[in-house]
Amino acid sequence: MMESVLIANRGEIARRIIRTARRLGVRTIAVYSTADEHAPYVREADDSVPIGAPPARESYLNGAKILAAAAATRAAAIHPGYGFLSENAEFAQAVQAAGLLWVGAPPAAIRTMGLKDHAKSLMMRAGVPVTPGYLGEDQSPAGLKREAATLGYPILIKAVAGGGGKGMRRVEAAAQFDAALASCRREAAGAFGEDRVLLEKYIQSPRHLEVQVFGDSHGQIVHLFERDCSLQRRHQKVIEEAPAPGISAAVRTVLCDTAVKAAAAVDYVGAGTVEFIADASHGLKADRLWFMEMNTRLQVEHAVTEAITGQDLVEWQLRIACGERLPHCQEQLQIKGHAMEARLYAENPGTGFLPSTGPLLHLALPPDIRVDSAVTQGDEVTTFYDPMIAKLIVHAASRTAAARQLARACETVEVWPVRTNAAFLARLARHPAFIAADLDTGFIERHADDLIPASEPSPGIIAAAAQALAAPAGADPWQALLGFRSNASPHLQVGVAIGNHSYTVAIDPRRRRAPIVLVGGEQVLFDRGEAWSFGIPSSVHGSGAESDGDGSVHAPMPGRIVSISAHQGQQVKKGQPLLILEAMKMELTLQAPCAGLVSTLVAAAGDQVTEGALLVRVAKES
């Protein structure tokens, strides 16, 4: 085993690697931007090195600085985690050229599979079925639009580089194509430094299946079964599970054997994921599976595979990087039970899932399941990086039990003042169609009305909170029960938890109880993953609404103005796009809140704006 490893990443995956490395006796070295100086992973590593300013291009995407840190700390190896430089062939090559072990795929495999058009061409030559589409060299908007018409709408525009749903747009009709292509290219260029795209025919009722593969330097390749990642929003995975529901043994064999065949075509070494799209309109069929892409790294959702196989995939990575053989042969790997993972994000479903930023003054995550978290209480969610707070991972004997356990876990999440998607996740896990495994990538969009939490508290919550406000923290529990009567309605009874500055309240006739916690002068009620503040609000909040009632449009969060599609004096319709704001790895299109005249335009393309800054004002039509 190597003596030390530098982790060229941050947040949750850095903590995950540190955990395994420590168990194996490997010294860990963290690198950090100035925004992450006090992050948990930096504190937990044996050594740490600052590498620059918060923007990723000045720190985590700066290979020279990372190699310098490795030299200064005498690191024996570099683990790239996922994202950032994990699929950068030039960086992998530079690591090996410096005499360090690269805990990742061979540079040649990264290069081949990193460009989706090249990867698909290779897979076709290897006899692996691929999604129908256009992989040609003509990148002109007119040429691409012609090819889209030939394929027939709906289609997907996808960046040839990168992954994670970045640089991907679904287009329903020709009228949407030009704007979608421009947006896709902007996002791809910003995320991957490459704006070339390919086109794919959009599969109706698509299921997103992927297979975990591992190869060693001795020519062995195995799979660790499949995962289902069909629950997605904006092409971003939300809940992943393993194994895939509704798959037969025969289809699993075809799927996993095809994944191994794809990995063998590039002499694969290390952890990788081969991703497939399946037409699930008539169930999962062996002849309705198509290769999409291969991620030449560990995946965010690797934890569900660990849960059903009992294997530590980071340990596998470290051992294979040291030249060892795979820890197990294919016949020794088995599926045990069912696992699910939910991605807990700092975002507000009530405002269209806008990312939420700010300090985590209160953070309580489920204590009885596996939680891979990026932060602890007191940390801050910034605009510089992905807004994931934690991954909530459950494992049970059956899929139904796992879904039930995941829903309970999401319902116990307590975060303030940053907003989260916990209630949304809980509703997903409890939805009858999810329980019935009636899944495809359009699930969330189709059931949005059932899944998005209410923007206002229910009458029961308001009544319970009003009662709680009469019982200040630290009060005598008997005196605190102001207005209490032994025969009072159960939903109005209040109890006090002594010593932790919190109350519990019953908010329905079944005596369902919820805590109210004092956070920064506010009393916050947590119920089924939702958070409601009562009393005098603090001065610090996550992202708010983007528009006032007077026709003004404010920045919902800090970010950079990408483009402006309106000009002062222009007549606009309600809902018409005005400008595009880029923040936290995503583009937000801000629209006219009403019909009228653009009377004020204070933003310009390229501007960095702060949360709440006035950008545009539309004078309403009288």
Write out the two tokens for 304.
Answer: 């569900």
The alpha carbon of residue 97 and the mean position of all alpha carbons in its chain are separated, in whole angstroms, by 33
Q: Are strands 4-7 and 27-33 parallel, antiparallel or unpaired?
A: parallel
Clarify whether 146 is annotated catalytic: no
**Rounded CA Rg of the chain:** 25
Q: Are strands 77-79 and 101-102 parallel, antiparallel or unpaired?
A: parallel
List all residues 6 or more positions away from 272 whose beta carbon is below 8 Å from its beta carbon.
Answer: 105, 109, 113, 212, 213, 214, 215, 263, 294, 295, 296, 297
- Tell me how far apart the alpha carbons of residues 342 and 23 are, in angstroms, rounded to a whole number: 26
Nearest to 199 by CA among 179, 225, 226, 181: 181
- Tell me how far apart the alpha carbons of residues 401 and 339 are, in angstroms, rounded to a whole number: 10
Cβ atoms of residues 596 and 618 within 8 Å:
yes
What residue ranges in 412-470 does DSSP mark as E strands?
414-416
Backbone angles phi, psi at 203, to 5 degrees: -80, 130
Please list the helix, strand and coil fractions of the chain in percent, rounded to the nearest 5, in that order.
30, 30, 40
Cβ atoms of residues 583 and 601 within 8 Å:
no
Secondary structure of residue 382 in the 3-state scheme: coil
Q: At what angle do helices 107-114 and 116-125 cross, to 10 degrees?
A: 100
Cβ atoms of residues 81 and 7 within 8 Å:
yes
Sheet with 133-134, strands from edge to edge, namely 133-134, 197-201, 155-159, 168-171
- Tell me how far apart the alpha carbons of residues 191 and 480 are, in angstroms, rounded to a whole number: 54
Q: Which H or E run contains 158?
A: strand 155-159
Write out the two tokens for 318.
Answer: 């470290």
Sheet with 206-215, strands from edge to edge, namely 289-295, 270-279, 206-215, 221-233, 236-242, 338-345, 388-396, 370-373
- Tell me how far apart the alpha carbons of residues 478 and 514 are, in angstroms, rounded to a whole number: 19
Which of 170, 252, 297, 617 is catalytic? The answer is 297
- Tell me how far apart the alpha carbons of residues 509 and 532 are, in angstroms, rounded to a whole number: 20
The conformational region for residue 67 under phi > 0 = left, psi -120 to 50 = alpha, else beta, is: alpha
Backbone angles phi, psi at 264, to 5 degrees: -65, -30
Write out the two tokens for 389.
Answer: 């707070």
Active site residues: 297
